[in-house]
Amino acid sequence: MKSGARASTGRARAEFTCVSRHSPLSNKRFWAKGWLPSAALMPVAPMQLPKTTDWIGTWRQGRGYVGGGLVEIKLNGGKLHVDAGILVPTARDFHNGDFQGDATTEDDTLSFADKYCGRRGERFIGL
């Protein structure tokens, strides 16, 4: 990992901390994980709480639809609306999933419900 790169930290053991990182430029579902010396890590200043409009956007994982997913968050009649789907190849088949629903925000969390899975929540992480 390059100096100055941002990573999520987990638990610490002795003088090492578990870290994971996903490149924002990568189209692959790969997170680099490992242990780094805790002394080499520097905390970043907390980001400001997101505005409702900060959630609006489109996020794609993978280059094509197969093996990837798409999440769109739009403003619809004054409310945030989430529309997402994914198609993942397996050894002999494909697995897919999707959901749609209106969302609400509270602090750094976007909460939404779909008709099958009930309430979900996502935290805003700025890079």
Which of the four pLDDT bands, split at 50, 70 and 90, describes residue 120?
Answer: low
User: Per-residue pLDDT tens for 26-49?
Assistant: 666 677 888 999 998 988 877 788
Here the tokens at position 2 are 């390059």
The answer to the question of residue 95 being in a domain is yes
Same domain flag for 33 and 56: no
Q: How many whole angstroms from its chain centre is CA 67?
A: 17
Same domain flag for 70 and 106: yes
Give the pLDDT of residue 17: 92
Same domain flag for 80 and 26: no
Give the pLDDT of residue 127: 37
Whether the per-residue pLDDT at 124 is higher than 60: the answer is: no
Same domain flag for 29 and 69: no
Closest CA to 114 of 106, 97, 102, 127: 102
Same domain flag for 17 and 74: no
**What SS3 string covers 19-79?**
EEECCCCCCCCCCEEEEEEHHHCCCCCCCCCCCHHHHCEEEEECCCCECEEEEEEEEECCE
Same domain flag for 77 and 116: yes
Domain assignment of residue 25, given as a range: 8-40
The answer to the question of residue 1 being in a domain is no
The answer to the question of residue 33 being in a domain is yes
Here the tokens at position 47 are 């980001």
User: Per-residue pLDDT tens for 61-118?
Assistant: 766 555 678 889 999 888 899 888 888 778 888 888 888 888 888 887 788 765 555 5
Same domain flag for 58 and 112: yes
Closest CA to 95 of 68, 118, 119: 68
Total count of domains within the chain? 2
The answer to the question of residue 21 being in a domain is yes
pTM of the entire structure?
0.59
Same domain flag for 18 and 76: no
